Amino acid sequence: MLRNNIIAGYINNLKGRSEGEVLQILSGLTNLSRGEKNTIYMYLFPKQIHDRELVTLIQESRRNTPEGLIGVITEPSESDIPFLIEAYGTRQYKNFIKHLIHSFVVCKKDDLYVLETNETYECGVCGRPIKGLLQNDIQSSAYGSTNSDIVLCPACLMQLHVLNSLLEEIEGTDYLTWGTLTRRP
């Protein structure tokens, strides 16, 4: 599990340093997990992510987990968060990530619902095919929000909660305000 306060502390201490210097410092740290190091690095130095590339990155990452690409993820995964934090740092994904968090995480309780149909949907984050609620299987159900036409799988919904907590720790609770897009240092 990612330790948000520790990640935020390292990010604040490493801001303004060169990419090479940050890589050297991170490689020498033994108190951080690989996921925490990747999260710090990708926050400080986000790379351009093209349309639908986030889906590919998350799918490839999940393929390498014990659950596999289609398996049910029941707890937050350190492997997804670095990609989501990197996407948040790019111009084309920042507002998308904010929209998802507004719609699915910081929304009113009544705004979030399980789709109760037999249709198959595609998760708006990972691209995984998901179905409406069938036979009370909450773990593989499709989630919707009255604030969005996007549908999420349970794993991505959980990851957005983790991402929101992490971004609040790094940037403060006002990070969700809709303002001008600025590139982080």
Domain residue limits, the chain: 4-109+155-175
| Residue that wins the pLDDT comparison between 178 and 126 | 126
Residue whose entry in the numeric block shows the structure tokens 């926050």 = 43
Q: What is the pLDDT of residues 49-107, one digit of tens each?
A: 888 888 888 888 777 655 444 444 545 567 789 999 999 999 889 999 999 999 999 98
**pTM of the full structure:** 0.84
Contact 157, 104 (CB under 8 A): yes
Give the pLDDT mean for 5-33.
95
3-state secondary structure of 120: strand
Alpha carbons 110 and 130: distance in angstroms, whole number: 21
Contact 100, 129 (CB under 8 A): no
Give the pLDDT mean for 108-125.
88
